[in-house]
Chains A and B, each alone.
Chain A
Amino acid sequence: MADRPVILQIKQVVKSFGNVHAVNGVNLNIYEGEFFALLGPSGCGKTTLLRMLAGFEFPSEGSIKIDGKETRDIPPNQRPVNMVFQSYAVFPHMNVFDNVAYGLKVAKTPREEVKERVQDALALVKLDGYELRKPDQLSGGQRQRVALARALVKRPRVLLLDEPLSALDAKLREAMQLELVKLQKAVGITFLIVTHDQEEALSMADRIAVMENGVVRQVAPPGELYESPNCRFVADFIGRMNLFAGIVEGHEDWGGLNVKTELLGKLTIPHSERVSSKLHLAVRPEKLRISSEILPSSYFSFPGEVDAVVYHGSESHVYLKTDAGPFLCATLTNLSRISVRPKKGDRLWIGWAPEDTLVLSE
């Protein structure tokens, strides 16, 4: 991505409401043609950041450049970005055609061109034939697509989407995720999507910024974010994670790290980077192995017993209590229809490969 030009440059942006810092010093570069996701828990400042890009809020500090131009004095109606609102905000008193045509008519586009571009935009979101419908005659998903077409028809430099799929049911949401990605690749416009749904971000975005309390904690492509989170918050927020606190006791010559954990004893982890003395160790549930026989000697392994099994269809979550104390969660893929799954109370060995251990500074 870095070989492409930067289209959105967010530098040290702070937004305060009274004494609440909704956005607290965000730096981000977003590249042309990227599908970028802002991910974070409720109230972490995602919407506020997006609204500053659209021009509805002014940053208290810092600068936002779109296409290299400082935006401070550009009102929302003159910015080369368009927004798909969380509530869609499809005008209820206009039909689908007029809704999509609105932005073009405002810009005094010739009539013939308006008609053509609106038809194209509606075809793009698969709503051709719905021109004369009023918004209250459309389903939630269709209204969302009208909002999308209405923004796309303006050919913005960046399309901002605020939780565009959160009002849809699970099946439709998944279908729309796929369609949005396809659409983005087809039109080549930079998409900046806000979501608090980590699966949505992981499955759609080229890169993701994870936010917490107005601060960006990590920016990375989905795979890196999942397999190499840089802090405890990101590790815990994305997917599931088994976490243990530990203290560094020493380093091995070959790059190993001796960590003393309270409950699992001393562990030596391959890790060559410098770390603080207090840290967290983490391992993903699907990387845990459980077995009634003893695990290979290269593994960390602990005896324990099954505390609960929660069935999720394609996989089961097995909650384990190690004899030493900590609870662990392992996910098992339900590979065959009739398979023997562990039951509550089963005694077994629990372990994982040392290289699957993540080392997280606070």
Chain B
Amino acid sequence: MDYWRKSPKVFWSFGIPPTIWLFALFLAPLFLVWGLSFGEKQGIIEVAITGTLENYSRAVQPLYLQIFLKSFWYAGLTTFFCLVISFPIALAITSASERWKPILLLLVILPFWTNLLIRTYALIAVLRTNGYLNDLLELIWLSADSGLRILGLGDWNLFGERFHRFELLYNNFAVVYGLVYVHLPFMVLPLYAALDRMDRSYIEASLDLGAGQWRTFRSVIVPLALPGIISGVIITFIPALGSYLTPDLLGGTDSQMIANVIERQFKSANDWPFGAALSFLLMYLTFFALAVRALLTRHNEKGLA
């Protein structure tokens, strides 16, 4: 690590640009917003930074706390479903042959190559009342119904008189569905990394000692994949918590998340100090969640040691 002392020129020429970038484009704006959160609105665009805590006390009102809570709930649900869906996917990729692995991984990250907005609109096209999913369900209904007619059971209308299209969009279901869809790769990749790294002989040893597949999964695979599970949970949960586009486009009036509220403060409500306070509250809560997990892993490591 003494390397930079020996050739400071190289060190600085590589080190300065990212440092400037970090300061100018990340830390400085962040600091500005932090300052704003202690300000008061004076006119349409003027804000005076007075050191008031008014914005924060507004932010912890039940109305907003409820939205925070709901955001955590959605992000939690998203993380849970992502985990449950990703584990079999990651296991399948791990046990695929060397020829298939890169192809399957490519399929997992393929959605990243398309803009989130486009993917969300594609999802709308699938889920909306006249969308593909309902078309498909109707097709199934029609063929089942005509099947019944052929059997002479048509008059009974066993599946209902006609197909009722499902309202799949603009509700909480659509939001969580969209969030799971968007965040799935974030969960699959760390799980895959953890499982692929795992020595297969642990699994074989467990089978050899008489454990069945399920017992092996529970007692050997999951505990050994735990670091991957934890990183997957974190990098799914945090972006899901701050989701903006998905609830905005797929959600109904009651399914907005905290990022939507923040956006409204900066735009239509034009209340930058309050928006800033909400943003920082979200950040503090995220840090708190990270700190809890750090404590948990430290505890875990001690247990392991």
Show the binding face of A for B, using Cβ within 8 Å.
54-56, 75-78, 82-83, 85-87, 89, 91-93, 102-103, 106-107, 134, 136-137, 150-151, 154
Contacts and interface: CB of A to CB of B under 8 A. Distances in A.
B201 A92 contact: no
Contacts of B219: 102
Contacts of A92: 224, 304
A54 B209 contact: no
Nearest to B202: A89
A75 B224 CA distance: 23
A75 B215 CA distance: 15
A76 B304 contact: no
A91 B220 contact: yes
A136 B305 CA distance: 8
- Identify whether the interface residues of B are mostly helix, strand, loop, or mixed: helix
Contacts of A55: 207
A86 B205 CA distance: 11
10 closest A-B pairs by beta carbon, nearest first, are: A103-B209, A89-B205, A89-B201, A106-B211, A76-B207, A93-B223, A85-B201, A106-B210, A77-B207, A83-B208
Contacts of A103: 209-211
Given A87-B199, A87-B201, A93 B224 contact: yes
A77 B212 contact: yes
15 contacts: A54-B204, A55-B207, A76-B204, A76-B207, A77-B208, A83-B205, A83-B208, A85-B204, A92-B224, A93-B223, A103-B209, A103-B210, A106-B210, A136-B305, A154-B209
A76 B208 CA distance: 6
Interface string B188-228: 00000000000101101111111110010001100110100
Interface residues of B, number: 20
B286 to A, nearest CB: 29
A107 B202 contact: no
Contacts of B202: 89, 91
B168 to A, nearest CB: 42
A102 B211 CA distance: 9
Nearest to A137: B305
A102 B224 contact: no
Nearest to B224: A93
A201 B205 CA distance: 24
B182 to A, nearest CB: 32
Nearest to A108: B210
A77 to B, nearest CB: 5
Given A75-B207, A102-B211, 5 more contacts: A54-B204, A83-B205, A91-B224, A102-B206, A106-B215
B303 to A, nearest CB: 9
A137 B305 CA distance: 8
Residue from A78, A106, A134 having most chain B Cβ neighbours under 10 A:
A106
Nearest to A98: B219
Nearest to A160: B208
Contacts of A102: 206, 209, 211, 219
Given A87-B199, A134-B305, A82 B209 contact: yes
Contacts of B208: 54, 76-77, 82-83, 151
Contacts of A151: 208-209
B204 A89 contact: yes
A107 B208 CA distance: 12
Contact of B210 (A77, A85, A93): A77
Nearest to B212: A77
A85 B205 contact: yes
Contact of A91 (B205, B207, B212, B305): B205
A89 B305 CA distance: 18
A97 to B, nearest CB: 14
Residue from A56, A107, A137 having most chain B Cβ neighbours under 10 A:
A56
A102 to B, nearest CB: 6
B222 to A, nearest CB: 10
Contacts of B224: 91-93
Nearest to A103: B209
A107 B224 CA distance: 22
A78 B199 contact: no
Nearest to A80: B210
A89 B199 contact: yes
Residue from B205, B219, B305 having most chain A Cβ neighbours under 10 A:
B205
Contacts of A78: 210
Contacts of B201: 85-87, 89
B299 to A, nearest CB: 14
